[in-house]
Amino acid sequence: MIALKRLLNEACALLVLSAFAIPAVAHEYWLQPTDMPWLVGEQLRADVRNGENFVGDTLPFDPDAFARAGLISENHRLALNGRLGDYPAFQMPLQETGLHLLLLETTRRELLHEQYSDFETFLNYHGLQGIAERHRNRDLPDQGIVEHYYRYCKSFIDVRSPTPGKDQSAQSTQSTQSAQSTPDTPPAAALAPQMQRLELIALTDPMQGNTLQLQLHLEGAPLANRQVELFHRDSESAAVTRTLLDTDANGLASFDTAAPGQYLFNSVTVLEPADTSAHWETLWASLTFHKSAPSLQ
């Protein structure tokens, strides 16, 4: 029996390790909450996903891969606790109504680009052509390019009361306050910056209005002239579109979010690492939410 349990644990660990090797060939890394609508008193279940255009693999909970993970609401900040191999990776209680933020930061991962063409394809896709020139100027190799990378993920959900109509006034007030936040009034807890190294910050409640303005931060300061990618999966056709915008001098970019469906924002930046065991350090930021169709009532 002990031998069987050891064999199962080894198989689970192997599954986790193989799952986290997937980023070598994939792009986006995001949080995808499931089981809408989200109601107080129930469990939030959310997948960690890695792939392209909303298609990808679902990754398990791995304490060695997650540096920081939790759920933020107006009155609660809960750290994620799980067991190695848990599916879905996030299983957390919902304790109040209103806008919530799901947060994940990974530990350092390593990727080897065997050929420069692979590295160049990655740079071109994410609007990082300037890195190619810096690569040559630093006299770095064309083969065996070592990259260290980190992921910084956020996802918004709107939690409601299980009793219809009970939380409408409270949510309306909170949404109004979030949408009208000024530099003199702090935003809702879920909208507040979380000091991720690379962070996509929503300046208004993403569930409200037809436009979402984002600010991209690097090490706590606005990052100008950096590509932000929006993937939108239409709620009816399931078609996925990709929209690209560059941040302005203040790190801002505004996107059309009028259509219902799933939204995934993604941005990547590449830095020269302090650790000389790698040639480059890559930071990835993602932000997701699901926008429902307007009520017919």
User: Does a structural domain hold residue 267?
Assistant: yes
For residues 157 and 164, what is the distance between their CA atoms, to the nearest angstrom? 18
pLDDT at 255 over 80: yes
Structure tokens at 229: 């990618």
Per-residue pLDDT reduced to its tens digit, 135-150? 999 999 999 999 999 9
Structurally, the chain folds into a number of domains equal to 1
Cite the DSSP H helix spans in the chain.
2-19, 116-125, 129-137, 168-179
User: Does a structural domain hold residue 54?
Assistant: yes
For residues 253 and 213, what is the distance between their CA atoms, to the nearest angstrom? 6
Per-residue pLDDT reduced to its tens digit, 22-68? 444 448 999 999 999 999 999 999 999 999 999 989 999 999 999 99
User: Does a structural domain hold residue 101?
Assistant: yes
pLDDT of residue 295: 62
User: Does a structural domain hold residue 8?
Assistant: no
- What lies within 8 Å, CB to CB, of 117 at 6+ separation is none
pLDDT of residue 25: 43
User: Does a structural domain hold residue 123?
Assistant: yes
**Whole-Å CA distances, 108 to 40, 101, 192, 284:** 34, 23, 25, 12
Query: Model-level pTM?
Result: 0.86
**Higher-pLDDT residue of 9, 276:** 276
pLDDT of residue 21: 40
Structure tokens at 33: 């909450």
pLDDT of residue 177: 41
User: Does a structural domain hold residue 4?
Assistant: no
Range of the domain at 223: 23-296
User: Does a structural domain hold residue 108?
Assistant: yes
For residues 256 and 44, what is the distance between their CA atoms, to the nearest angstrom? 28
User: Does a structural domain hold residue 217?
Assistant: yes
Q: How many percent of the chain have pLDDT more than 70?
A: 82
